[in-house]
Amino acid sequence: MSKTGDWYPAGRDGQISMITNWIRILTAEKRTAWGIPTPEYTELGVLFDAARNILQKAKDDTQRTPVITAECKAAFRALEDKARFFKKHYFLVPPLADADLVSLGFRIPDPIHTPTGTPTAEVAVETYLVGRHQIGVRLVYVSGSPDDPANKGYRIWYTTAAPGGTPPASPKDLHESFYTKRKKDLITFDYEDSGKTVYIAVQIENDGKKGPWGPMSSASIP
C-alpha cells in the first residue's frame, strides 16, 4: 500500500479523487497519443467503479461488515496496483510532458539547486558503548540550530592512539573520517584496536563547505 511521501495518496478518498481525475483526462485522443490500449483503460475504470462502490458500503454503518471491510481492502489494493502500472508503463515510458504529469497529480522535481549557505554551527560528540570494538556517537549542537538548512550533514573525524600514546593536539590532527546525515551513528574498529583510545571531532559539511570544528572527545575502545 502507499506510504508517506509516495506519489500515490495515502487515504482512500484521495485515491478515488486521483483516479477520477485520470479518467477525466484520459480521453480517446489522449489515450491514443500516450499509447494506452483501450482494454487497459477499461480495466482501470472497472477497478475504479468497484473500489468507489465498495467504499460507499464500508462507510455506511448499516452496511459495513467484516466481509465488506475485507472486500474494500482488496478492491483498493487492485486499484493501486493498476494505477502504479499506468504510471510506470504509460506516463513515464516515454515520459509525458511536465504539464501532463502535473495534470495527473504528480509533482515535478525542481532541477534548480537552491544554495543553502556555509554552515556556521558547532557540534560536540557524546560517546557511548555499543558492543565489542564499537563506539556509538551522539551529535549535540553547541551553537547554531539543527533546523538551519546549511547544516546538511556531518563529517566525523577520528583517530586512535595506543595506551600511553600522545593524543592529537587538535581536531586537525585526526586522520580518518566518514560523512553522515544522522545525529546518532556508529564507529566500528578493528580487533587489534581494543584497549586503545579513540579521539573524535566533528565538522558540519554542506556541499563541500565546512563549518567550524567542534570540541574533541575521547573514549576507550572496548
Cell numbers given for 13: 478518498
| Residue 126, number of CB atoms within 10 A of its CB | 13
Ranges of residues in the chain with a pLDDT under 50 are 1-4
d(CA 99, CA 186): 45
pLDDT of residue 14: 92
51, 79 in Cβ contact below 8 A?
yes
CA 11 to chain centre: 20
Q: How far is CA 48 from CA 9, 36, 58, 102, in A?
A: 15, 17, 15, 21
d(CA 160, CA 145): 30
Helix residue ranges per DSSP H, 87-207: 98-103
List of E strands, 28-175: 122-131, 134-143, 153-161
pLDDT of residue 111: 66
Domain ranges of the chain: 12-103, 122-220
pLDDT of residue 122: 95
pLDDT of residue 132: 87
pLDDT of residue 159: 95
d(CA 150, CA 137): 21
Query: Considering the domain 122-220, what is its CATH architecture?
Result: Sandwich (2.60)
pLDDT of residue 114: 61
pTM for this prediction: 0.52
Query: Is 194 strand, coil or helix?
Result: coil
Quote the crossing angle between the two packed helices 38-59 and 66-86, to the nearest 10°: 150
pLDDT of residue 37: 95
